[in-house]
Chain A
Amino acid sequence: MNAQLRSNLEERLAELPDLLAGHLLLSMAAILVGIGLSLPLGIYAAPRKHFSNTVLNIASVIQTIPGLALLALMVPLLGGTIGYAPAFSALMLYSILPILRNTIVGIQGVDPAVLEAARGLGLTPRQRLWQVELPLALPVIVAGLRTATVWVVGAATLATPVGAPSLGNYIFAGLQTRNWLSVIFGCLFAAGLAIILDQMIRLLEVAARDRRRLLAVQVSGALILLTTAAIVPSLVDFSPPSSPAQRAEQSANRTDTATLDGLSVRIGAKAFTEQYILAELMEDVLTDAGADVERLDNLGSTVVFEALSSGRIDVAIDYTGTIWATIMNRSEPADRYAMYAEMSGWLYEEHGIVMLGRLGFENAYGFAMQGDRAQALGVTSLADLAVTGERLQVGGDPEVFTRSEWINTRDTYGLGALETRAMDSTFMYGAVRDGEVDVITAYTTDGRIAAYNLTVLSDPLGVLPPYDAVIMLSPQAATRPGVARSLAQLIGAIDDETMREANRLVDLERQTPAQAAAWLYEEITE
């Protein structure tokens, strides 16, 4: 147990330099550009009553958009780009309101008598601004800057799902793999960073107010040191992401070689255990073939697809039913093979994405109940659920209740009387085991189904679509046969049983995804 804790701690610490650097750079860039925009805008707006009300209203509306939504919205707004750009844009927008509002309020709050004295003495408008208005408004402006800093450093943890590494990686990954140490790590470091930056700004204000040059130099020095210390380690072994054009050229030069010698391949993964394990597995396979692998974990579900089609990532694992419903917007049930055929044609024609093949297992939505309770109520299939006469509660991830699978199931089996309760997928297995909900929309490969003695209800009318796990290649990756050849050994190699076991190793045995992937790799190559 202690050894496990230690290795967990060591792994988390090893990730820290990159994540802290990413987080710090992202936050600082957003705040600096935020200041650059809002300060001049505030100065211009302050004497103009009507205009200042208008810009404040616009900034307030932006502020009311939840952080995660704003970040996610930036991805399609920037044409499907993921990573630094959408995260930066959203956080920068987020920093505007507090700085803008306090600049306007601070300047408008300067004593009119002092301003009249300044005019009467013969100060020009510019001199009045720099010598009177800004110095007197400074404490209020700095208060806004500090608010913005704390907000932005906090919200930057949400950059993880759009593909920008941040301290949020700890939180998202930790939540999904029930690694609470990782979650605490993310929270503590994000909070610590916010406090440190906040205090540094406060000291800068003190230095400016009391004209303490030495203090100003010291704090600026500390800030620069902090930033460099954060950036330099990641710069040393940093290979700049090449543009799609360069990468296409790179791949063109290599079409004749089977090995992936030094070729960079980026693997994307969504934010749950199975995805982490499979990403690790693909990393192992591709690294063995000589590729230089980069990973982008914890991407939002649709972000993975956007990133794949824009070529920001090269490889990802997705599920046929998910693509069918959320990408192709199809709601009718379809036969497994017909669906696969239609889908692979559509993906290639519409997006240039190649479906390399099925891994062999299916991770479907399955309605699961606690075994004893199912027996007591005499429920074995979805059809039985409608006639128990009990007020039953269904727990599921927030996505599922808006999807056609749930809607079709509900309507087909007459489950309209069931009460739905959305929760994070990590918690639903425990919730159904402990009787907090009666049914959950489980993922059929989850190790906890067997471990918690859950019964998956049958679907006699075939409403639930198949969810075959498939390997998908970006348009660029598809032009490199080496990638496909290396990954081909995974096709058909992992059955339901094997995947469930790998998931169980992480979710219940507390192994790391890397350890589970190593086990899986051995199983496959045996």
Chain B
Amino acid sequence: MISSAGPVLELRRVEKTYAGGVEAVRGVDLTVDRGKLLALTGASGCGKTSLLKLINRLEDRSNGEILFEGRDTLEHDAIALRRQIGWVMQGNGLFPHYTVRQNIAVLPKLLGWDAEQVRARVDELMHLVQLEPSEFCERYPAELSGGQRQRVGFARALAGKPDLVLLDEAFSALDALTRDALQQDFMRLQSELGFSAVMVTHDMAEALIMADEIAVMRDGLIVQRGTPKDLLTAPADDYVAHLLETPRRQMRAIKELEG
């Protein structure tokens, strides 16, 4: 399933200009290595979500190259490409008229699996995201808590055994406790299943905790790229330092209390 050589995803001088003339992405180079998690962060309007949507062609890029598994995404059929890449969005992306089982089964059914395979896969995924099938599979999204809904969202994104998963503010709408639990679960899933991931988040603490590598964006450009440790030790400019200030202050406060 996973092809051996080279990075999963490679972006070269990628640009996106919207019809109204807004330049959301202005020449971005990025690489995502196999099995790694890249976090895209920055203030709102910096272009991180636009960049994410260029990857599975929810939007079309204006310039540059995006290589998925070594092939330009434009050479892939857009529909087939999206089915190969997992997609998790904030909070409310589940189909409200489908049960949990039906939501998770959407992609396997689109891929033409037979009923028994689909059923087995849904049960397997529900166990993976720690939802007991007998209890949850016939419920509708409206009958779930926010955390449970997001778990179903993960299961749905992973149903087609993707090599790459894209997350758009996937943890933002959750309360702190649930968010923490889900972050841990997601990292466990990633190490168990070995997929790669690109995660958009405005929360620097989340990026620091989860990511193998962080790319900080501002005005459509990447201002710094590096491991969490690189960023903490050597922020490239005041903007990055400013973004790091919030988690730092929280950490200091906690340490003082622990005294």
Given contacts A117-B87, A121-B107, A127-B110, contact A136 B94 (CB under 8 A): no
B95 at interface, CB cutoff 8 A: yes
Q: Within 8 Å CB of B95, what residues of A?
A: 114, 117-118, 131-132
Bits for A190-220, please: 1 = Cβ < 8 Å to B, else 0: 0000000000000000000100000000000
> B107 near A113 (CB under 8 angstroms)?
no
Interface SS of chain A: helix
Partner of A116, one of B58, B91, B96: B58
Bound CA–CA A123/B97 (angstroms)? 16
A148 to chain B, nearest CB (A): 24
Q: Within 8 Å CB of A209, what residues of B?
A: 97
Given contacts A116-B58, A119-B58, A135-B97, contact A124 B79 (CB under 8 A): yes
Partner of B96, one of A119, A120, A121, A136: A136
Given contacts A111-B92, A114-B92, contact A121 B97 (CB under 8 A): no
A241 at interface, CB cutoff 8 A: no
A460 at interface, CB cutoff 8 A: no
Given contacts A118-B95, A121-B156, A127-B110, contact A113 B79 (CB under 8 A): no
Q: Within 8 Å CB of B93, what residues of A?
A: 113-114, 116-117, 120
B106 at interface, CB cutoff 8 A: yes
> B89 near A116 (CB under 8 angstroms)?
yes
Bound CA–CA A135/B90 (angstroms)? 22
Partner of A113, one of B82, B83, B92: B92
Q: Within 8 Å CB of A113, what residues of B?
A: 89-93
Bits for A91-133, please: 1 = Cβ < 8 Å to B, else 0: 0000000000000000000010110111111111001000110
Given contacts A116-B58, A117-B94, A136-B97, contact A123 B110 (CB under 8 A): yes
* B window 19-75: CB within 8 A of A: 56, 58
B80 at interface, CB cutoff 8 A: yes
> B80 near A122 (CB under 8 angstroms)?
yes
Given contacts A116-B58, A127-B110, contact A121 B92 (CB under 8 A): no
B15 to chain A, nearest CB (A): 22
Q: Within 8 Å CB of A114, what residues of B?
A: 92-96
Bound CA–CA A135/B156 (angstroms)? 20
Q: Within 8 Å CB of B107, what residues of A?
A: 121-122
Which of the listed residues A120, A123, A131, A132 has the most CB atoms from chain B within 10 Å of its own CB? Answer: A120
* B window 130-182: CB within 8 A of A: 156, 166
* B window 81-114: CB within 8 A of A: 81-83, 87, 89-97, 106-107, 110
Q: Within 8 Å CB of A111, what residues of B?
A: 92, 96
A135's nearest neighbour on chain B, judged by CB, is: B97
* B window 187-222: CB within 8 A of A: none
B250 to chain A, nearest CB (A): 30
B112 to chain A, nearest CB (A): 13
Bound CA–CA A116/B89 (angstroms)? 9
B97's nearest neighbour on chain A, judged by CB, is: A135
> A117 near B82 (CB under 8 angstroms)?
no
> B96 near A122 (CB under 8 angstroms)?
no
> A120 near B56 (CB under 8 angstroms)?
yes
Bound CA–CA A209/B96 (angstroms)? 12
> B82 near A120 (CB under 8 angstroms)?
yes
Bound CA–CA A261/B2 (angstroms)? 89
B44 to chain A, nearest CB (A): 17
Q: Within 8 Å CB of B87, what residues of A?
A: 117, 120-121
B63 to chain A, nearest CB (A): 23
Partner of B106, one of A116, A121, A135: A121
Bound CA–CA A112/B2 (angstroms)? 33
B225 to chain A, nearest CB (A): 25
B239 to chain A, nearest CB (A): 29
A212 to chain B, nearest CB (A): 15
B7 to chain A, nearest CB (A): 22
A207 to chain B, nearest CB (A): 14
Give the A-binding residues of B (Cβ under 8 A): 56, 58, 79-83, 87, 89-97, 106-107, 110, 156, 166
Query: What are some 29 contacts across the A-B interface (CB < 8 A)?
Result: A111-B92, A111-B96, A113-B89, A113-B92, A113-B93, A114-B93, A114-B94, A114-B95, A116-B58, A116-B89, A117-B87, A117-B94, A117-B95, A118-B95, A119-B58, A120-B58, A120-B93, A120-B166, A121-B82, A121-B87, A121-B106, A121-B156, A122-B79, A122-B82, A122-B83, A122-B107, A122-B110, A124-B79, A209-B97
Known: A113-B89, A113-B93, A121-B82. 6 other contacts (CB 8 A): A113-B91, A117-B87, A120-B166, A121-B106, A121-B107, A123-B106
Give the B-binding residues of A (Cβ under 8 A): 111, 113-114, 116-124, 127, 131-132, 135-136, 209
